[in-house]
Amino acid sequence: MAAAEPKPPAGVAAARRLARGCWSAFWDYETPKVIVVKNRRLGVVYRLVQLLILLYFVWYVFIVQKSYQDRETGPESSVITKVKGITSSEHKVWDVEEYVKPPEGGSVFSIITRIEVTPSQTPGTCPESVRVSNATCDSDEDCVAGELDMLGNGVRTGRCVPYYHGASKTCEVSGWCPVEDGASVSQFLGKMAPNFTILIKNSIHYPKFQFSKGNIENRKDGYLKRCMFDEVLHLYCPIFRLGFIVERAGENFTELAHTGGVIGVIINWDCDLDLPASNCNPKYSFRRLDPKHIPASSGYNFRFAKYYKINGNTTRTLIKAYGIRIDVIVHGQAGKFSLIPTIINLATALTSIGVGSFLCDWILLTFMNKNKVYSHKKFDKVCTPKDSPGSWPVTLALVLGQAPPPPCPCSTDPSRPQEEGQSQAQVIPSPRPCPTSALSEQMVDIPDRGAGPGPWASEPSQQDSALTDPRGLAQL
């Protein structure tokens, strides 16, 4: 006798059954089934969700965001600036060439409003500034020769010398002397600075739409020589008073002129190119950009020097300048109707309306008191006959209810047992009449008539038995 084949372990057999089940389920086809539920509250929720989604897409997506347009952000831009005006300090008159840095007229420039001047600096030795750490001393032993402090003003010589004023002493350094703190003189230039005028010439270009525009009105009658910016009357006269810019940024001019600061002039070009070009206008805004409330880095200043020779010796004047730096920032976006984003957003809107169906199905199958009845009505499992005559058109006609259903071999009738030796193909169970209802079914949410036996209590069981009947293809 042949040895019996060993049975595979239970875990392996279960894994095989699971794999076969997954493989079989992979080839199943699912089709939606329409069920009309006569429930007023559920219908109100469904229509309300649809209305909210529709309002969101119509008002916000299409009207506010204009999602039917193709957009381009970040226009190509050029900025040219020009400052005019004169002012005076305690010692001299200042013109544009002296108080504007740099003088090229770019999008970032500084207007000097206060200076601290250290005149006649020459290479030599002198006391170090008391503001430098470890600069104070009592004797030469406190100063190390050749030591270089990166925050100091030169190389230490190793000597301890009296300071410029007072009784204190500091280490001597070799560098530009006298150092800044020892002989600086402060001068205020902000007396006439609020009346300085600034011309900001800006032009933008959107290459995707081949659209260009500038912020100066195209006139040849000397308009720019007699106009001043006004948001209503002279929008295309980009000549601003410095005091106007500081005021619109919410700052005090006198305080800002003493400590310095950075003011941003923001030009925004938001253009709807479905409208005429005259509707594409610049919008100006002003605000302070540097952190004025942080004492460690408050204000704005920089240093520069002017060099010259006296009796053959190189001499310079060191200037520590406080001023108002102007940053011109240009940004914007342009939009124009395009078919592709319109179709995409319409499809998204139509798809999102289905959220109402999903929400109501969840409520129907979770919270309604007859959720099991609804579940049986909504989900049906249909087994197609394996030995059905004809080709796939016949099978499709059977599924659609266009042909009489043949006997379904999915399950056999337990009331008629097979005879011994009779093959499966010879067993023909008595056909049951399958319901011929359409794919759309209506359900009326009938209130409970009380527990216990009776005609209302037996309805769910009858429905369940009819819906779970595996025979026939018309259970769709």
Nearest of 136, 119, 127 to residue 175 by alpha carbon: 127
- pLDDT the model gives residue 453: 43
Beta carbons of 95 and 103 less than 8 angstroms apart: no
> How would residue 165 be classed by pLDDT, with cut points 50, 70 and 90?
confident
In this structure, is the dihedral angle defined by the CA atoms of residues 257, 259, 260 and 261, taken in order, positive or negative? negative
Note if the bond before 178 is cis, omega within 30 degrees. Answer: yes
For the segment 297-303, the average pLDDT, to the nearest whole number, is 87
- Inform me whether the pLDDT recorded for 277 exceeds 60: yes
- Inform me whether the pLDDT recorded for 3 exceeds 50: yes
Nearest of 348, 42, 17, 303 to residue 180 by alpha carbon: 303
Q: What span, in angstroms and rounded, lies between the C-alpha atoms of 151 and 321?
A: 19
Residue given tokens 């819906």 in the structure block: 467
Distances (CA, A) of 100 to 112, 240, 427: 6, 16, 105
Per the document, the length of the chain is: 476
- pLDDT the model gives residue 342: 93
Q: Residues 218-261: pLDDT tens digits? A: 887 788 888 999 999 999 999 999 999 999 999 999 999 999 99
Rg over CA atoms, the chain: 44
Beta carbons of 271 and 288 less than 8 angstroms apart: no
Beta carbons of 262 and 256 less than 8 angstroms apart: no
- pLDDT the model gives residue 5: 60
Q: Residues 325-375: pLDDT tens digits? A: 999 999 999 999 999 999 999 999 988 888 888 888 888 778 777 667 777
CB-count exposure of residue 301 (10 Å: 0-12, 13-18, 19+) = middle
φ/ψ of residue 57, rounded to 5:
-75, -40
φ/ψ of residue 70, rounded to 5:
-85, 135
Q: Residues 120-145: pLDDT tens digits? A: 899 999 999 988 888 999 999 999 99
For the segment 34-42, the average pLDDT, to the nearest whole number, is 82
> How would residue 418 be classed by pLDDT, with cut points 50, 70 and 90?
very low
Q: Residues 392-406: pLDDT tens digits? A: 454 544 444 544 555
Nearest of 125, 75, 112 to residue 270 by alpha carbon: 75
DSSP per-residue string spanning 211-242: EEEESS----SSGGGT---BTTTBTT--EEEH
Query: 30 or 171, which is more confident?
Result: 171
- DSSP secondary-structure letter at 146? T
Residue burial 17-48, b: 16+ Cβ < 10 Å; e: rest: eeeeeeeeeeeeeeeeeeeebebeebeeebee
Compute the 3-state secondary structure of the chain and give helix, strand, coil in percent, each to the nearest 5: 30, 30, 40
Residue given tokens 């260009």 in the structure block: 212
- Inform me whether the pLDDT recorded for 74 exceeds 90: no
Instruction: Give me the chain's average pLDDT, please.
Output: 80
Beta carbons of 286 and 266 less than 8 angstroms apart: yes
- Of the listed ranges 110-124, 152-166, 414-428, the one predicted with least confidence: 414-428
Beta carbons of 369 and 305 less than 8 angstroms apart: no
Beta bridge partners of 127: 172
- 67 Rama class: left (phi>0) / alpha (psi -120 to 50) / beta: alpha
Nearest of 228, 336, 224 to residue 280 by alpha carbon: 336
- Inform me whether the pLDDT recorded for 196 exceeds 90: yes
- DSSP secondary-structure letter at 56? I
Q: What span, in angstroms and rounded, lies between the C-alpha atoms of 127 and 121?
A: 13
- Inform me whether the pLDDT recorded for 167 exceeds 70: yes
- pLDDT the model gives residue 382: 65
- pLDDT the model gives residue 406: 53
How many whole angstroms from its chain centre is CA 468? 52
Alpha helices for 150-287 (secondary structure H):
180-183, 242-248, 253-259
* Element of type H or E holding 45: helix 40-55
> How would residue 199 be classed by pLDDT, with cut points 50, 70 and 90?
very high
pTM of the model: 0.67
> How would residue 186 be classed by pLDDT, with cut points 50, 70 and 90?
confident
For the segment 1-23, the average pLDDT, to the nearest whole number, is 75
* Element of type H or E holding 130: none
Tokens coding 107? 């999008």
Q: What span, in angstroms and rounded, lies between the C-alpha atoms of 76 and 330?
A: 9
- pLDDT the model gives residue 4: 57
- pLDDT the model gives residue 154: 92
Q: Residues 425-465: pLDDT tens digits? A: 344 444 444 444 444 455 555 444 444 444 333 344 444 44
Nearest of 184, 191, 149 to residue 170 by alpha carbon: 149
Beta carbons of 171 and 132 less than 8 angstroms apart: no
Beta bridge partners of 197: 84, 241
In this structure, is the dihedral angle defined by the CA atoms of residues 120, 121, 127 and 128, taken in order, positive or negative? positive
